[in-house]
Amino acid sequence: MADVELSIPARSAYVGVVRLAIGALARAAELDEDIVDDLRIAVSEACTNSVLSHERSGVDAPVTVTWNEEPSRLLVEIVDEGAVYDPDGLDADDTQALLRLSMSVALLRSLMDGCEIGPREGPGMATRFTVPRRTR
């Protein structure tokens, strides 16, 4: 079982690197190709949210993606140090950000049954995906 941690600069150019790494890890874990695709999209979206959060809040810290394999499931966690997503706390003038984040959360939850999004200890947010180990 492999545990992997990737830390990337909070820049959009690095989201593609994470997407490729997650695809390779998921295939190595022998997940169904449909799950591989959904996981790649979900992790990309979560990383993009983290990058945008860092940009909005002016934070210059890495985004960390952790891959943890267990016998019956795998866990993927994306953590950042940006602003905490709070739809009620967004400025009324920031309707674009509210709309984008709301759509993003809906997408993440539709792609991954085991999706948790919330504040983490310390500054920032954590997005966690739990994927049952169903092989090809």
Distance CA 25, CA 22 (A): 5
Mean pLDDT for 99-106 is 86
pLDDT grade, residue 88 (50/70/90)?
A: low
Domain of 74 in residue numbering reads as: 3-132
Residue 100 tokens read as 């984008």
Amino acid code (one letter) for 123: P
pLDDT tens, position by position, 58-70:
999 999 999 999 9
Tell me the mean pLDDT in the region 89-96: 64
Instruction: Flag whether pLDDT at 121 surpasses 60.
Output: yes
Q: Using the predicted structure, report yes or no on whether residue 56 has a pLDDT greater than 90.
A: no
Count: domains in the chain: 1
Mean pLDDT of 93-115: 85
In 3D, which of 66, 55, 59, 58 has the Cα closest to residue 25? 66
> Which of the four pLDDT bands, split at 50, 70 and 90, describes residue 93?
low
Q: Is 30 exposed, middle or buried (0-12, 13-18, 19+ CB in 10 A)?
A: exposed
Hey, is 98 helix, strand or coil? helix
CATH of the domain at 29: 3.30.565.10
Give 92 or 125, the one with higher predicted confidence. 125
| Residue 1 scores a pLDDT above 60 | no
Tell me how far apart the alpha carbons of residues 34 and 20 are, in angstroms, rounded to a whole number: 15
Residue-wise pLDDT tens digits, 4-45: 999 999 999 999 999 999 999 999 999 999 999 999 999 999
- pLDDT classification of 136: cutoffs 50, 70, 90: very low
